[in-house]
């Protein structure tokens, strides 16, 4: 059995920040698409479909980049704190024990 005694805080923070940021980016893009579709689908819509689609795609990309930055920053902080908490607790009670097998393919 191998034991994870310590996690590098910066390493975990970067991974969680990247994951949170990526998820935030795609969720905001999907949200912009649905909002634009909902506006076009309303029976009282009387405008240019191309303008609405262009606006929501552009706004979705901008919002996606901002969401990536904000979610990534919060994810980085969460990852850093989680690694610090894990390291503190692992010193007291021991780390996670895993069994690893070497694959010689």
In a domain, 6, yes or no: yes
Domain interval for residue 81: 2-98
- Dist CA 26 CA 64 (whole Å): 7
User: Is 84 within the bounds of a domain?
Assistant: yes
* pLDDT tier for residue 97 given thresholds of 50, 70 and 90: very high
Residue with tokens 């262009």: 54
| 4 DSSP β-pair partners | 96
Q: What is the pLDDT of residue 57?
A: 76
Residue of 24, 27, 25, 49 whose CA lies nearest to 37? 49
Residue 48 lies in a domain: yes
Query: Is 105 among the domain residues?
Result: no
Domains of the chain: total: 1
Confidence of residue 80 (pLDDT cuts 50, 70, 90): very high
Kindly report each contact of residues 100-103 with a partner whose C-beta sits within 8 Å and lies 24 or more positions away, as own/partner. Answer: 100/2
Give pLDDT, residue 5: 92
> pLDDT tier at 96 (50, 70, 90 boundaries)?
very high
For the segment 64-84, the average pLDDT, to the nearest whole number, is 95
103, part of any domain: no
Tokens of 43: 């029976």
Structural domain includes residue 89 = yes
pLDDT at 105: 72
DSSP state of 43: T
Q: What is the pLDDT of residues 11-58, one digit of tens each?
A: 999 999 999 999 999 988 888 888 777 777 776 766 677 777 777 778
If you search the block for the tokens 């503190």, which residue do you land on?
A: 88
Question: Rounded to 5 degrees, what are φ and ψ at 96?
Answer: -75, 130
Is 104 part of a structural domain of the chain? no
């Amino acid at each position: 059995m191998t034991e994870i005694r310590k996690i590098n805080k910066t390493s975990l923070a970067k991974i969680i920040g990247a994951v949170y940021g990526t998820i935030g980016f795609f969720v905001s893009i999907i949200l912009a698409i649905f909002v634009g579709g909902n506006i076009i689908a309303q029976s009282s819509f009387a405008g240019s479909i191309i303008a609405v689609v262009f606006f929501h795609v552009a706004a979705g990309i901008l919002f996606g980049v901002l969401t990536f930055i904000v979610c990534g920053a919060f994810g980085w902080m969460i990852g850093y704190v989680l690694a610090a908490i894990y390291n503190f607790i692992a010193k007291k009670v021991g780390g996670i024990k895993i069994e690893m097998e070497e694959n010689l393919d």
